[in-house]
Amino acid sequence: MAVVNSEVPGRNTAAVRLLTRLAEGRWLIAVVAGMLLILAVAGVLEIPVGIAVLAIVGVAVALVPRGASDDTPAAAAALPTTIERDPVFKLFSDALPDPCFILDRRGIVRYANERAVAMFQIRVGEALTFRLRVPDLIAAFDRVVRGGAPVRVEFAERVPTERWFAAWFARLEGSDLILLLVDDLSEQKTTDRVRVDFVANASHELRTPLASLAGFIETLQGPARDDVAARTRFLTIMREQAGRMSRLVNDLLSLSRIEMKAHVRPSDRVDLVAVVRHVVDSLEPLARDLGVTVETEVPAAPVEVTGDRDELIQVFENLVENACKYGQAGKRVVVAIAGPKDGAGAQVAIRDFGPGIPEEHLPRLTERFYRVDIEDSRRHRGTGLGLAIVKHIVARHLGRLTVASRLGEGAVFTVTFPAAFAGRTISGNENNETDQVLAAS
């Protein structure tokens, strides 16, 4: 057991230890037991065997190092240390924004701030390895214990969800204690992965039509130079591929613009009934071509929310268009509006009666370029960015997008607007209040 040396520099440490043990009575027992044994051996006293054995045990107990008998986590936590004697150190640890542990040389937790306990469920007196059985983490700790320089190591936890951390070990000068700081890298890793996936997916989506265009151009300049029928067919395909790239670039630009002003709350008053009717009218030709009937269930009175009309039109165009395309088999789409009621905000629900969406896909529907069926999406000229755009616009409006689906029964996409701002404009002072509503939801 490593006991922290909290003595004043310059003192005779051997004398201090001797006085401490005498004060505890350990050496008094040793002296008395030793004198009895000496007198017994010299024949001065006749001591029964039992008393002699007790004297030997007394000497042994007094001479055994104190740390050898206090080898349990509970005893380790109970021993007085510099940590317990220094409230400023505790206050400093508790003020850190990241989990902080103080470990002894055996890896026993001597102190942990609230963030550390909450995140890892490790308490004072427990071994770090009870909760974190990571070989790289243990190896880094061992290097610092043996006198090595501070070490930083990254590790991941896969259960219950994947999380990434960076651990930093360093020895506290003048003691046998080891400082462990943990930084949660999960958000950073997720952002990096999303960025890498986004670049890869965008490059792939653009590369395919570009390669197609380049191939057809080469063919038209060569073997099909004088083939009128082939030229007509190739030009039609090239126009489709150019349109695909144009839609993708437009969606990328739209997504970028929305993200740039994500922190700016809309301030106009918008009637959801008028927006939905405009969207249904504009998509009527598409629905007719697909053999789908779009029905509306809207109240007679306006349902006003604070928002950006153009962005809300884009939201419901994406949702209704998706319902018509991917729920085409159901031949019917219903768009329903419910005004604010009983503290709930206004809602717009778009329901199709198609094949539905498998449950395992629901959590990822709003990811960029994520598709349930890639071939089906491309057949309907989808870019894989529509629902990502919807998600960002709804978030900017402090709303919430929910998806419910059951195989064979279609899907329902519901956009809910916050009741606190239905029917009135957000002023500059109310922007802070809207952030609190978003955080609470």
Residue 225 CA to residue 216 CA, distance in Å, equals 11
Residue 77 CA to residue 50 CA, distance in Å, equals 37
Residue finishing a domain among 166, 184, 202 = 184
Same domain, 295 and 432: yes
For 154, phi then psi, to 5°, come to: -100, 145
Same domain, 272 and 254: no
Angle value at C-alpha 329, between 325 and 332, nearest 5 degrees: 80
Spacing of C-alpha 285 from chain mean position: 43
Within 10 A of 424 (CB to CB), how many other CB atoms are there? Answer: 12
Residue 347 CA to residue 17 CA, distance in Å, equals 75
Same domain, 61 and 117: no
The three-state secondary structure class of 306 is: strand
Same domain, 292 and 399: yes
**Any idea what the CATH number is for the domain that residue 151 is in?**
3.30.450.20
Residue 392 CA to residue 395 CA, distance in Å, equals 5
Same domain, 325 and 180: no
Print pLDDT tens along the chain (441 aa): 333 333 333 334 444 344 444 445 555 566 666 676 676 666 665 656 556 655 665 655 555 544 434 444 444 444 444 555 556 667 777 878 888 888 888 888 888 888 888 888 888 888 888 788 888 888 889 899 888 889 898 888 877 677 888 899 998 877 788 889 998 888 888 777 777 777 777 777 778 788 888 888 888 888 878 888 888 888 888 888 888 888 888 878 888 788 777 777 888 899 999 999 999 999 999 899 899 999 999 898 888 888 899 899 999 999 999 899 888 888 899 999 988 776 678 899 999 998 888 888 888 888 887 777 766 666 666 677 888 889 999 988 889 999 998 888 899 999 999 865 544 433 333 333 323 233 222
Same domain, 180 and 194: no
Residue 234 CA to residue 215 CA, distance in Å, equals 10
Domain that holds residue 50: 13-69
Same domain, 165 and 284: no
**Any idea what the CATH number is for the domain that residue 227 is in?**
1.10.287.130
In a domain, 4, yes or no: no
Same domain, 345 and 312: yes
Which one, of 317, 411, 329, lies nearest residue 376 by Cα? 329
In a domain, 58, yes or no: yes
Domain count, the chain: 4
Same domain, 215 and 294: no
Residue finishing a domain among 184, 203, 232 = 184
Residue finishing a domain among 260, 285, 308 = 260
Same domain, 142 and 287: no
